[in-house]
Amino acid sequence: MFLLLATFSALMFSPTRAHAENPTATSSVQDDSFTPTVWKPAWIDKNNNGIADSLDQEIANRIANGTVQDYVNVTVMLNTAPTTQDAAYFASAGGYLTTPPWTEATYGFGGMIPYSAIALFTQQCSNVLLVEKEAVGKATIAYATQQVGARTYVWNTLGLQGDPNASTAIVDTGIDASHADFSHGYGNRD
């Protein structure tokens, strides 16, 4: 089943086919001149201190129960490309990086830092856009497969229903930044 999906995906979404069907389509290869557009919704950090309000609340709770020195996994989003100085501010606040710097789709990095040091870090590092607690997300491909027509073709045309006791994962290496679904915030080069 996976081999069939991989073959189908390769045929349906190959750059050669896409270019043949739409010769004006931009290349999916990202050039070095691309600059990510970064922003945060106003509702996520109402007091604009660079710390997600949900994390602010958790810090307050930990101060109250005496566990503010515990470390937390965080995602640090930056306004501009990460620098060694950004990492130095994070380290001077007692944190350490757990990911390499992010420079392609967004700016930032992941790390661990004591709850008590997050505010100090955001005050020292003027490049901070937002610090959030790392969270596990639940992804679903139900909409994506419908949008590209994969589900309909595989299920209805090929009659492949799959094993109800098995799961299939499709791992992709990136997105097409020029796709209309990513305009206004990602891939908008105007």
Classified by CATH at the fold level, domain 42-133 comes out as Alpha-Beta Plaits (3.30.70)
pLDDT of residue 165: 73
Per-10-residue mean pLDDT for the chain, 190 residues long? 35 38 44 74 93 97 97 96 97 96 90 98 97 81 58 66 68 66 54
pLDDT of residue 36: 80
pLDDT of residue 10: 39
Say whether pTM exceeds 0.85: no
pLDDT of residue 12: 38
Read off the DSSP letter of residue 186.
Answer: S
Domain extents in the chain:
2-30+138-182, 42-133
pLDDT of residue 84: 96
pLDDT of residue 100: 93
Q: Strand 128-133 relative to strand 108-114: parallel, antiparallel, unpaired? A: unpaired
pLDDT of residue 141: 58
> d(Cα 108, Cα 86) in Å, to the nearest integer?
9
pLDDT of residue 135: 86
